[in-house]
Amino acid sequence: MISPDTVRPPEPRHYEEITVLQTLKLFSEGYRHYSRHTWLQFLLFVGCYVLFDYAYFKIPVDLFANVIYYHGVVAVCADVVNWLSPLEQVLAKQNHLLSATADLEIVRGCDGAGVLFLVASAVLVFPSRLKRKLVGLILGIGLIYFLNLLRICVLYFVIAYHPGWFQLIHTYVAPTLMVVMGCLYFAWWAFGSAHPIHEPA
């Protein structure tokens, strides 16, 4: 027979209590860590953009006009415009699109480079694998290049047939649309295109 004195009640289970002060402290430390990380990314983004912009303005004007703009932009846009409207008979000369009705000059600062630098800088500083960054850069550069060619072709037709609209479209509408498209692309690349991979247990 078991004596009542030998039966001991089970010891109560102890739970660690987290006070309101400890919770606020943990939240504050997490916020400071997140804030430092965010500021570091922002500073890296600004640094990348400044470096791109600095290198961009170090390129000689003649190299831009005779090589980069001519082969990469003007000649391509002339072919596109002539394909869309053969009667235009557009000629590519250095950094100019020339025809009987228009003379559109491509100059530094009005070539979509700013949007390209924004997208490239954002992709580079975003925390992701190197392979994914390379894909993001290639797709982003291709998108901005295509949008810039489209912008220049549209501007040619605007200056040829509706010159009164040129300043509005060239200064406000086209740059804004390119920035918006660049931001949407980055958002898609950074968040929308990332599919989590579930490893088997």
Predicted confidence (pLDDT) per residue in 140-176, tens digit: 999 999 999 999 999 999 999 999 999 999 999 999 9
What is the Cα–Cα distance from 152 to 68, expressed in whole angstroms? 15
Percent share of the chain, pLDDT over 70: 78
Q: Mind listing the pLDDT tens digit for each residue in 42-73?
A: 899 999 999 999 999 999 989 988 999 999 99
Confidence (pTM): 0.78
What is the Cα–Cα distance from 128 to 135, expressed in whole angstroms? 11
Q: Is 3 helix (H, G, I), strand (E, B) or coil?
A: coil
| Interval 84-112 mean pLDDT | 92
